[in-house]
Amino acid sequence: MAFPTPVEPRRELYPEIEPFASGWMTTDGVHEIYYEESGNPQGRPVLVLHGGPGGAVNPGMRRYFDPAQYRIIMFDQRGCGQSRPHASLENNTTWTLIEDIERLRERCGVDKWVVFGGSWGSTLSMAYAITHPERVLALVLRGIFLLTRKELHWFYQDGASMIFPDAWERFVAPIPEAERGDLMGAYYKRLIGDDVADRERCAVAWSSWEGETVSVEGPNARPDKFAEPEFAVAFARIENWFFTNAGFFPEDGWIVKNVDRMRHIPCWIAQGRFDVVTPIASAWSLHRAWPEAKLDIVADAGHASSEPGIVDSLVRATDWAAGL
C-alpha cells in the first residue's frame, strides 16, 4: 500500500456541490436521523462522521472529496443538526450511533465504504471499524481522539487551560469556585437541569471553549456557530453526556486495546502538531499500536479541519482512498 508524497502547492477543497438526495431515517426509538447524499451516485461510497459528539454536518464537509469519484453520504447523529428530537440524550450512546450507521448503510444499499471522521468523528469511525471491520474499505481520520480519562482531564480540567488562559477564564465563569474541582460534573448538572436560561448560558460557555481553542490562530478564530445557542445546547449537552459516561466504552483505552481488529484496514491520519483539543500524543500512541497506518503530522496546524495544512492532508488522503 503506497501513500503519496506531499507536493507543493498545498491542495485545496473541491468545489461546492449540492445533495442529490436527502431525507430522514427512522430508528428503533424516538430518533429520526437526517442524512444526505452528494457527488457521483455510482462513485465510491464514503461515510462522513461529524465531530462533537453533538456537532452536525455542513455543506463544507462535501468538499473534501472529488465529486466525480465519490458518493458522499453524511448524517446528523442523534440529537444533532437536523436530526430529531433536537439535543435529545435518550438512547444516545456510541453503540446506538453505530446501529444507526449500519441502518443507514443498509438503507443506501452499500456493502463497504470509506469512513471519514475528525475529532469525535475519528473516535466513532474507529469504534465502528472495530465493531464492523468487514464494512470498511479505508479510514481517513483527523485529530485523533481516543476518548480516555487523560484526554478529558487535559481539556476540561487541567492542561489546555495553560495554553489558552484567556478562553479558560470564560469557560469556568458560569461555575462557582467551590465546584471547579470537577468541571465536567458541574456542567453536567446545569446542562441537564430544568433552568432553561442557565442551561443555555452554560451551553454557550462550554461550546465556545472548544470553538476558541480549535485553531493555532487562537480565540479570535472561533467559528461563529459555537456561540449560537441552538447549536451550542445540542453540542454541549450531548458532548458532556458522552464524556461523563466515558464514551460508553467498556474500559478506558478501549480503542487502542482493540486496534488489532482494524489493523488490516488502510488508514490515513491527519494530525495537527499544535492541536490542543486532541493533542498529538493520542495520534502518536495509536500509530505506535498501528504502524501500518499513515500518520501525517501537519507542522503548522491545530485542531480545525479548515486549516490549510489539514485541508491539504485530507484532500490528498481522500484522493488516495479513491484509488485503493
* 323, burial (CB in 10 Å: exposed 0-12, middle 13-18, buried 19+): exposed
| Alpha-carbon span 68 to 39, nearest angstrom | 6
- Three cell numbers written together for 225: 456557530
- Three cell numbers written together for 93: 450512546
| Alpha-carbon span 246 to 322, nearest angstrom | 34
Q: Which of 38, 83, 88, 119 is catalytic?
A: 119
Helical (H) or strand (E) element with 121: helix 120-131
| Alpha-carbon span 39 to 153, nearest angstrom | 40
| Alpha-carbon span 114 to 137, nearest angstrom | 5
Q: Does residue 302 contact residue 214 with C-beta atoms inside 8 Å?
A: yes
Q: Which of 287, 303, 305, 312 is catalytic?
A: 303
Q: Which of 76, 275, 296, 312 is catalytic?
A: 275
Taking the alpha carbons at both ends of the chain, their separation in whole angstroms is 8
Which single residue is written with the C-alpha cell 465556545?
208
Q: Give 230's DSSP letter.
A: H
Query: Does the active-site annotation cover 275?
Result: yes
- Three cell numbers written together for 173: 465563569
The amino acid sitting at 245 is N
| Alpha-carbon span 98 to 126, nearest angstrom | 11
Cα–Cα separations (whole angstroms), residue 135 to 45, 102, 265, 294: 11, 9, 10, 20
Query: Does the active-site annotation cover 303?
Result: yes
Angle (CA) 81 132 84, round 5°: 20
Active site (catalytic) residues: 119, 275, 303
